[in-house]
Amino acid sequence: MTVLPFQLPLIAILRGITPGEVDAHVDALVEEGFDAIEIPTNSPDWEDSVRRSVQRHGQHACIGAGTVVQPQHIDALLRTGGRLMVTPNTDPQLIQHAVAEGLLVAAGIATASEAFQALRAGAQVLKLFPASIHGPALVRALRSVLPPVPLFAVGGVSPSTLASYLSAGCQGAGTGGDLYQPGQPVQATRDNARAFRQAYLDYSA
């Protein structure tokens, strides 16, 4: 199985964050133990936010971009120094390009066919998306045929549902709307991060 370059298998998704807000929120996440940070490309000036986060925390956190759907996104991500690329879909050419550039790729999949396509293209992590639509039952079904590759549940995962995905066979999850909403106070991000981390620790105990 791929050895992940982060300790806590929860990817913080900061969709909609701005460069003016990103330092304080990422600081809080790192202080709460999060060491995988994703800033989606449909966030305002996302390249600047990724660059700032890499400069502050790149030595001890895996930081990158999500909602990567075109080659230009990869090129921009590389310029920021980010190491993580997350996609919402399975695009073999995009995955191959990113892997060739040395990025860790978490590729979005929803079927077994897409999962094997992504793996053949070189993706190191699979992202079941949207997880809340498919549920833990699909995780169990995929696990019965997939090789031992990290599988993350993303989309609608909350602290209260995290354990159901982990017990079904996921190694981790992407934490989106239940972690961060645009404009929320830093303390809310900290509190939500703490709840997610505790839910993971409770499951792993």
pLDDT, tens only, 100-138: 999 999 999 999 999 999 999 999 999 999 999 999 999
User: Which residues are bridge partners to 128 per DSSP?
Assistant: 109, 153
- Return d(Cα 29, Cα 11) in angstroms, integer: 10
Whole-number Å distance between alpha carbons of 75 and 79: 6
Q: Among this protein's residues, is 38 annotated catalytic?
A: yes
Query: Which listed residue (21, 32, 47, 127) is catalytic?
Result: 127
Tell me how many domains the chain contains.
1
Ramachandran angles phi, psi of 64, nearest 5°: -170, -155
d(CA 184, CA 89): 28
DSSP code at position 182: T
Task: Please report whether residue 116 resides in a domain.
Answer: yes
CB 138: neighbour CB atoms within 10 A? Answer: 18
Distance CA 116, CA 29 (A): 33
Only one residue has tokens 């549902």, namely 161
Residue type, position 45, single letter: D
Q: Is 101 annotated as catalytic?
A: no
pLDDT tens-digit series, residues 38-54:
999 999 999 999 999 99
The answer to whether residue 1 scores a pLDDT higher than 70 is no
Q: Residues near 93 by Cβ (< 8 Å), separated by ≥ 6?
A: 121
Residue 190 lies in a domain: yes
Residue 4 lies in a domain: no
**Whole-number percent of the chain with pLDDT over 70:** 100
The CATH number of the domain where 82 resides is what? 3.20.20.70
Give the range of the structural domain holding residue 28, as residue numbers without chain letter. 10-204
In this structure, is residue 145 part of a structural domain? yes
Residue 2 lies in a domain: no
Q: Taking CA 57 as the corner, what is the angle to CA 107 and CA 99, rounded to the nearest 5 degrees?
A: 30
